[in-house]
Chain A
Amino acid sequence: MKTVTADPKGVDSGPHFMDGDHALAEGALAAGCRFFAGYPITPSTETAERFAERAPEVGAMFIQMEDELASIAALIGGAWGGQKCMTVTCGPGFSLMTENLGLACMTETPMVIANVQRGGPSTGLPTLTAQQDMMQARYGPHGDNMIIALCPDSPQECFDLTVEAFNLSEFYRVPVIILTDETVGHMHEKVVIPPADQIKVVPRNNYNGPKEDCRPYKFDSQGGHPMVRAGDGYNFHITGLTHNEKGYPAMTAEQSKVVVTHLMEKINGNADKIIRLDEDQIDGADVVVVSYGITSRIAVKAIQDARKEGIKVGSLRLITIWPFCEKRIRELAPKVKAFVVPEINYGQMVKEVERCAGGRKVISVNHCGGAVHDPQVILDAIRKAIQ
């Protein structure tokens, strides 16, 4: 990935005492996002507020749209107009966005969507935390498509991972979803924003060659292909229909194989480069706790208590949720007795762990939302895992 240093205009360097929602907005501005379209919804509204407040001084544009359908549609337009774009929402809004999320995947339009998760289903628990949209992020839109999703565990990571989300999104030309939650979104902690010259960003790559060679697409299962900016004088076509490299409809089984394979493999085939994990004391562990986001912090408390009891327990924190780290789970499975998967949902990512665990015991520590786990419940599951 070719990177440049961040534009200092968008970087509010220094230490802050900041909540996760605000850190998402600061991360976007630091990454070079200059277009934000959204519709306010608890618990994500503070991100929109922060972006709107900062937009005039940075020279960015903020639009409050009429709803979430329009918000993501505006992002698609903004991206093809040459801007790095972001929106934030939570479950109900994300549901409305899924149709155009599929269009963004199909048209290979870079954008970052933060889902500050709250309890569901439906309007559920507007002000209370959850991690119930993990599968929706991956499988929401119809048809075969692949996105990248990242999961911060703190306001600091809300900043750091938003920068990374934009970089991945620009390079792979794919929507990147930040799956955070109400707890992290509304929690204030120290956030250190580095100086602009220490923040690496992937700049927008616009085609500027001869007109006759202009191709908005290249189906080679890789990232790094230029966008074509509307208004730069090139004739090109963008559609949700299965298309050729010029973007024109080409609706055949043969072309579908080319396009779908590319959409899936540009992410899955580069999973090793994309996936980031945070591992602790995995070697020699009998039990590995697989967790993510706010739950991984609660899990650490349980893991520490379990170690005091002499249990060999390691921690595998998923920073990248999608693509899922199936290779790593397959490597670990023969070496451990069990996996423990706490999450604030009825059991979602645990299905992925089970799929890769090769028959090893997998204990789901589910939670119906509205609060974080009691660490004792995770500790009990770890004890159960070694029996």
Chain B
Amino acid sequence: MSTQEIRFSGFGGQGIIRCALITGKALALYDDKFATMTQAFGPEARGSACAAQLVVSDERVLYPYITHPGILMALSQEAYDKYYSELPKGGTLIVEQELVKLRSDHPDLRLMRVPATRYAEELGNRLFTNLVALGFFTAVTNVVTADAMKKALPGLVPERFLKINIKAFDKGYEHGIQMMNQKTGGAVS
């Protein structure tokens, strides 16, 4: 990996910005990468849609914004509708499978669906949706290590919910690994 551009998106309250912060911290502090995180601050960030961007590289990131995102995580219909067309052929599209109705089966993309909200509800609260999705993201993208992600959590999730957030992460991670095994026979592309 030289440079990877990732967009996390969904609706306000899902913890989208938190997803980018956790991933950025994991990469920059524990995976020895350079990571630059930006988020939309305009009026568009005040409504229902929400997005945060991460540029990850082995070298110092110069241009801080994303121009050619290779990975999109969309946890809402609006986010999916707004951003999926940015992905190039072969790009990775991760969607919340019960919240996003696909407009196509996206034969040109690496489509990965995760029932993050349902898993979070099974753990007791849909607030953990973002961590389930992050676990899934970690398993299917090979951008960041699960170990680094878990190390990044303290300080970014409330201390009393740390354990259950790790549980949510693991749930999504396991689902992702299972899916990878089915799709590729184990190899993570």
Residues of A within 8 A of B (CB): 15-17, 42-43, 127-128, 182-183, 186-190, 294, 297-298, 300-301, 372, 375
Q: Chain B contacts of A16 at CB under 8 A? A: 29
- Assess the A17–B21 pair: CB atoms within 8 A: yes
CB pair A190–B62 under 8 Å, yes or no, is no
B 4-33 binary contact with A (CB < 8 Å = 1; else 0): 000000000000000011001100110000
Measured between alpha carbons, how far is A43 from B20 in the docked complex, in Å?
20
User: In the bound complex, do residue A190 and residue B35 qualify as a contact, i.e. CB atoms below 8 Å apart?
Assistant: yes
B63 touches A297 (CB 8 A): yes
Contact A17-B63, Cβ < 8 Å, known A127-B41, A182-B41, A186-B39: no
Report A-chain residues with C-beta under 8 Å of the C-beta of B29.
Answer: 15-17, 190
> Most chain-A CB neighbours within 10 Å: which of B20, B36, B43, B64?
B64
Query: Are A301 and B62 in contact, with the CB atoms below 8 A?
Result: yes
Q: Quick check: B25 and A17 within 8 Å, CB to CB?
A: yes
Please tell me if the beta carbons of B63 and A298 are within 8 angstroms of each other in the complex. yes
In the assembled complex, the CB of B145 is this many whole angstroms from the nearest CB of chain A, namely 16
Separation of A352 and B40 alpha carbons in the complex (Å): 33
For A192, give the chain B residue with the smallest CB separation.
B29
Residues of A within 8 A of B21 (CB): 17, 188
CB nearest to A17 among chain B residues: B25
Closest partner residue, chain B, to A370 (CB atom):
B42
Most central of B35, B41, B65 by chain A CB within 10 Å = B41
Q: Could you tell me the distance between the alpha carbons of A206 and B61 in the complex, rounded to whole angstroms? A: 44
Residues of B within 8 A of A186 (CB): 38-39, 41
| B146 at the A interface (CB under 8 A) | no
In the complex, what distance in Å separates the CA atom of A183 from the CA atom of B21?
16
Contacts of A127 in B (CB 8 A): 41-43, 45
Closest 6 CB pairs of A and B: A17-B25, A188-B37, A190-B28, A127-B41, A127-B42, A297-B62
* Contact sample, A vs B, 5 pairs, CB 8 Å cutoff: A15-B28, A15-B29, A17-B21, A42-B41, A375-B63
B38: chain A residues at CB < 8 Å are: 183, 186-188
Interface-centre pick from A43, A188, A300, A375 (highest chain B CB count, 10 A): A188
How many A-B residue pairs have C-beta atoms within 8 angstroms? Tell me: 58
Residues in A with CB closer than 8 Å to B64 are: 183, 187, 294, 297, 372
Among B36, B42, B65, B152, which residue has its beta carbon within 8 angstroms of that of A188?
B36
Q: Which residues of B contact A15 (CB under 8 A)?
A: 28-29
Chain B residues with Cβ below 8 Å from A182 are 41
- Which A residues touch B43, using CB under 8 A? 127
Partner of B36, one of A43, A187, A298, A375: A187
Cα separation A188 to B8 with both chains bound (whole Å): 15
Contact B41 A189 (CB under 8 A): no
The answer on a CB contact under 8 Å between B63 and A301 is yes
Chain B 60-77: CB-based contact to A (< 8 A → 1; otherwise 0): 011111000000000000
Least CB distance, A54 to chain B, in whole angstroms: 14
Whole-angstrom distance between the Cβ of B42 and the nearest chain A Cβ: 5
A128 near B42 with CB under 8 A, answer yes
For chain B residues 110-129, which have a beta carbon within 8 Å of chain A?
A: none
Cα-based distance from A298 to B60 in the complex (angstroms): 12
**Chain A neighbourhood of B62, CB < 8 A:** 297-298, 300-301
Across-interface contacts of A189 in B (CB, < 8 A): 28, 34-37, 61
CB-CB under 8 A for A188 and B63, given A42-B41, A127-B41, A182-B41: no
Q: Which of A17, A294, A375 has the most CB of B within 10 A?
A: A17
Tell me the nearest residue of chain B to A155, going by C-beta: B36
Give the distance in Å from the alpha carbon of A294 to the alpha carbon of B64 in the complex. Answer: 9
Interface residues of B in 93-109 (CB under 8 A from A): none
Bound CA span A186–B37, Å: 9
What CA separation (Å) do A17 and B25 show in the bound complex?
Answer: 5
| CB closest chain-B residue, reference A304 | B62
Closest Cβ of chain A to B18, distance in Å, is 12
Question: Complex formed: what's the CA distance from A294 to B63 in Å?
Answer: 9
Chain A neighbourhood of B42, CB < 8 A: 127-128
Chain B residue contacts of A298, Cβ below 8 A: 62-63
Chain B residues with Cβ below 8 Å from A183 are 38, 64
CA distance A17 to B21 in the complex (A): 8
- Give the complex CA separation of A372 and B43 in angstroms: 19
